[in-house]
Chains A and B, each alone.
Chain A
Amino acid sequence: MDIVQDKTAETAKSTPAPGTSDPGKRIRVSTRDVSVFYGEKQAMFDVSIDIPDRSVTSFIGPSGCGKSTFLRCINRMNDTIDGCRVSGVVELDGEDINRPDLDVVELRARVGMVFQKPNPFPKTIYQNVAYGPRIHGMTKNKAELDEIVVSSLQRAGLFEEVKDRLDQPGTGLSGGQQQRLCIARAIATRPEVLLMDEPCSALDPIATAIIEELIDELRENFTIVIVTHSMQQAARVSQKTAFFHLGKLIETGDTEQIFTNPKEQKTQDYITGRFG
């Protein structure tokens, strides 16, 4: 831990090329023995993982293995689920985020989230994207807000499709458009850590490429965690990969190593398509 902190200053400036790993990278999010219970049922078992700054970490694993559940531990969205209990330690920049005196609202502004199911508000497209900047008072005037809305939509690859109907309801968009709207909405608040739960599940290859470009670009300044069911996507965009199975973290490591030379048999089976 000490060594890691010493290196913080120098590694923060340099950004390694995609696909390569830098073992000395600062740890942004770190969890220790995190278990999650839905009522009596345990969904996650003692997950400990370090997520490095300014890089992309992908979570892979079969459906129902707890990827979304674990993702929600990082911005405490599990708080909103009745009967859900989290034990263990989750740290953001060395600070325990489950501390009773922590400001959850501020935490969620810093740790943004794109949900698995697109959930646009029943408001206009513009209002959807402007929602975060507005409540956080991020802009001084309308022009600045317009600028944020337009650039967020552009970066999510949606602007061209909706530029003539920004005043139309966001709920009237197609599934894939809604997904990109939610991505635009999440990046508009400029979170430091962005949690993306299957952000491309409803997108065509071109839109997917745009989102992957966006992720690459965001990686230069932010920390990104992406849940995906596409092995290729994990290999393309992420530097680190974590494989979950039945609520347990089976293996984590550099993406290249996980995909070429996994240590665990289960990982091997999953990425080669033998189960899951």
Chain B
Amino acid sequence: MNALFIAALLLVLLGLSYQMGWSRSKKLAAAEGESMHSRPVYHGAFVAIWALLPALVVFGLWALFARSASDNYIISQLPPETSSLAQGEVTSAIQRVKSIASGFGVVGQADPVEAKAAEAYNQFRTLITLGVLAAAAGMGLLGLLWARSRIAKRFRARNEVELAIRIGLIACSAIAILTTLGIALSLIADALQFFSFVQPLDFFFGTSWNPRFQSTGSDAVGEYGLLPLLWGTIMVSGIAMLVAIPVGLMSAIYLSQYADYRVRNVVKPIIEVLAGIPTIVYGFFALVTVGPFLSSAGDLIGIDIRATSALTAGVVMGIMIIPFISSLSEDILHQVPNAMRDGSLGLGATKSETIVNVLVPAALPGIVGAVLLATSRAIGETMIVVLAAGNSPVLRLNPAEPVSTVTVTIVNQLTGDADFTSPQSLVAFALGLTLFAMTLLLNVVALYIVRRFREQYE
């Protein structure tokens, strides 16, 4: 209900302010008989921005402080000794009142004091909501009037709107960056807690993974060596990229340079369908088809390949990733100007010479980006590995043997009744942080490659 009110208020404010700015500008233009600096749409947009902004700020402040304000209010309604209770008990007391207030009911009988507090809290909430709505509307109107008063013949509304657009764009990019930072920080806190149980050295350089080991009567909490998992991840995604990069790139080159446009229009969507198949289905495919096939193929040439192994998971993951690389690279190759291709063909180069010498270098930054995206996908992929890699966290060099990966282990550690104070669960955060750092590193490397390339060619 609140959300509806807020949306309605903002919409009304938007329409009203735009209309007022627009009509005032029109009127001024008509009265002066001369052309204004900016067209009426810009004046309308300018007034609308200044009407919405203060209202949004009010709502934003409310969102920030609403919780602590209502908590404080509830405490003030409860008997004074409540606030001297332990932190957890205060929180649960507040929670009980809120539940009663919203009508969900609580465990056990509601105390009369609690019931009264709940009722008061409901009133408080209604009051505050109305107050905030009124404040937002008031601030919005003030902004509206102020902005409207600034409209004049030489007023540069167009430039102001441009500035607002720019700030809006910056804010959006900031959200992406802040989210990334936030994710990293939330991981770090829990990961640090994990490192209070296990030495970082033992984690990062340990070669043995056995978290369930709990020797009775001693402090030992198990072995948390990262290396077997890391190696598993690297091996599986490495095999996947070995499959996906050549196949994906080649098919992209075929589609963009050799195929008739009619062929391309049919084939490209089909390849993209591959990307839409849920990964768990790829998991079945690996388990039921590819694994046994690789195993019997290995028998034929005298190599012992296990049905669930790094190889099986890697190959199937590679197939899953092909469309990422081929589709993105095809788009990028297609964007290389035809004049470039013609220049090379016109000098008597063959198609393949043209592709190797001109098209691929020109498209390289984009191709690196596509490969990088695909690699990140491979590193983060979980379902295929759960089913097809054998889930065996042992450090083995042979890709034909079962392995386990970082992602699978995170799932293992967090499923079941996870207790977020034990190292068995907390290790998941350290693992997540490691994954995060890995993909970050990959990005940096790719950025470096792209930059080097740019210096060379553009």
Q: Is B422 an interface residue (CB 8 A)?
A: no
Q: Is the CB of A112 within 8 A of B346?
A: yes
**Known contacts A105-B349, A135-B357, A186-B347, A80 near B338 by CB under 8 Å:** yes
Task: Select which of A80, A136, A172 is within 8 A of B345 by beta carbon.
Answer: A80
Q: Is the CB of B457 within 8 A of A123?
A: yes
Q: Is A108 an interface residue (CB 8 A)?
A: yes
CB neighbours (8 Å) of A75 from chain B are 346
Q: Is the CB of A135 within 8 A of B457?
A: no
Task: Select which of B343, B349, B350, B361 is within 8 A of A119 by beta carbon.
Answer: B343
A-B interface pairs (CB < 8 A), number: 74
Task: Select which of B340, B341, B348 is within 8 A of A136 by beta carbon.
Answer: B348
Q: Is B261 an interface residue (CB 8 A)?
A: yes
Binding site for A on B (CB under 8 A): 261, 337-350, 353, 357-358, 361-362, 457-458
| Distance to closest chain B CB from A104 (angstroms) | 9
List 6 A-B pairs, minimum CB-CB distance, nearest first.
A109-B348, A119-B339, A119-B343, A132-B347, A108-B348, A113-B346
**Known contacts A105-B348, A108-B346, A136-B348, A131 near B339 by CB under 8 Å:** no
Q: Is A185 an interface residue (CB 8 A)?
A: yes
Given contacts A131-B357, A182-B343, 10 further A-B contacts (CB under 8 A): A75-B346, A80-B342, A107-B348, A108-B348, A119-B337, A135-B347, A135-B348, A135-B349, A169-B457, A172-B458
Closest to B343 in A: A119
**Known contacts A77-B342, A122-B457, A106 near B348 by CB under 8 Å:** yes
| Distance to closest chain B CB from A62 (angstroms) | 23
CB neighbours (8 Å) of B361 from chain A are 122-123
Q: Is A117 an interface residue (CB 8 A)?
A: yes
Q: Mark A56-95, 1 if CB is under 8 A from B, else 0.
A: 0000000000000000000101001010000000000000
Q: Is A38 an interface residue (CB 8 A)?
A: no
| Distance to closest chain B CB from A84 (angstroms) | 12
Which one of B338, B343, B353, B457 has the highest number of Cβ atoms from chain A below 10 Å of its Cβ?
Answer: B343
CB neighbours (8 Å) of B344 from chain A are 121, 131
Q: Is A177 an interface residue (CB 8 A)?
A: no
Q: Is the CB of A132 within 8 A of B340?
A: no
Q: Is A233 an interface residue (CB 8 A)?
A: no
CA distance A75 to B362 in the complex (A): 25
| Distance to closest chain A CB from B368 (angstroms) | 15
**Known contacts A109-B347, A169-B457, A135 near B342 by CB under 8 Å:** no
CA distance A131 to B343 in the complex (A): 10
CA distance A106 to B347 in the complex (A): 9
CB neighbours (8 Å) of B357 from chain A are 121, 131, 135
A–B Cβ pairs within 8 angstroms, 14 of them? A77-B345, A80-B338, A107-B348, A108-B346, A108-B347, A112-B347, A117-B339, A121-B340, A123-B361, A131-B347, A135-B349, A135-B353, A136-B348, A169-B458
Q: Is the CB of A121 within 8 A of B358?
A: yes
CB neighbours (8 Å) of B458 from chain A are 122, 169, 171-172
Q: Is A115 an interface residue (CB 8 A)?
A: yes
CA distance A259 to B395 in the complex (A): 86
CA distance A109 to B348 in the complex (A): 4
Q: Which of A155-183 contact B (CB under 8 A)?
A: 169, 171-172, 182
Closest to B453 in A: A122
| Distance to closest chain A CB from B8 (angstroms) | 52
Q: Is the CB of B343 within 8 A of A108?
A: no
Q: Is A238 an interface residue (CB 8 A)?
A: no
| Distance to closest chain A CB from B74 (angstroms) | 66
Q: Is the CB of B346 within 8 A of A115?
A: yes
| Distance to closest chain B CB from A246 (angstroms) | 25
| Distance to closest chain A CB from B127 (angstroms) | 66
Q: Is the CB of A115 within 8 A of B343?
A: yes
CA distance A263 to B348 in the complex (A): 39
Q: Mark A95-116, 1 if CB is under 8 A from B, else 0.
A: 0000000000111111011010
| Distance to closest chain B CB from A22 (angstroms) | 30
Which one of B339, B347, B350, B357 has the highest number of Cβ atoms from chain A below 10 Å of its Cβ?
Answer: B347
CA distance A106 to B350 in the complex (A): 9
| Distance to closest chain B CB from A208 (angstroms) | 22
CA distance A107 to B350 in the complex (A): 11
Q: Is the CB of A108 within 8 A of B345?
A: yes
Q: Is the CB of B347 within 8 A of A189?
A: yes
CB neighbours (8 Å) of A108 from chain B are 345-348
CB neighbours (8 Å) of B345 from chain A are 77, 80, 108
CB neighbours (8 Å) of B457 from chain A are 122-123, 169, 171
Closest to A83 in B: B261
Q: Is the CB of A189 within 8 A of B348?
A: yes
Which one of A80, A108, A120, A122 has the highest number of Cβ atoms from chain B below 10 Å of its Cβ?
Answer: A122
CA distance A106 to B348 in the complex (A): 6
| Distance to closest chain A CB from B233 (angstroms) | 36
CB neighbours (8 Å) of A119 from chain B are 337, 339-340, 342-343
Task: Select which of B339, B348, B362 is within 8 A of A115 by beta carbon.
Answer: B339
Q: Is the CB of B346 within 8 A of A105?
A: no
CB neighbours (8 Å) of A135 from chain B are 347-349, 353, 357
Closest to A133 in B: B347
CA distance A171 to B344 in the complex (A): 15
CA distance A81 to B136 in the complex (A): 60
CB neighbours (8 Å) of B348 from chain A are 105-110, 112, 132, 135-136, 189
CA distance A172 to B357 in the complex (A): 19
Q: Is the CB of A105 within 8 A of B340?
A: no
Closest to B353 in A: A135
| Distance to closest chain A CB from B453 (angstroms) | 10
| Distance to closest chain A CB from B335 (angstroms) | 13
Which one of A77, A113, A186 has the highest number of Cβ atoms from chain B below 10 Å of its Cβ?
Answer: A113
| Distance to closest chain B CB from A19 (angstroms) | 30
CB neighbours (8 Å) of A182 from chain B are 343
Task: Select which of B261, B343, B350 is within 8 A of A121 by beta carbon.
Answer: B343
CA distance A132 to B343 in the complex (A): 10
| Distance to closest chain B CB from A126 (angstroms) | 12
CA distance A67 to B46 in the complex (A): 52
CB neighbours (8 Å) of A172 from chain B are 458
CB neighbours (8 Å) of B358 from chain A are 121
Closest to A82 in B: B261
CA distance A126 to B191 in the complex (A): 54
CA distance A132 to B344 in the complex (A): 8
CB neighbours (8 Å) of B347 from chain A are 108-109, 112, 131-132, 135, 185-186, 189
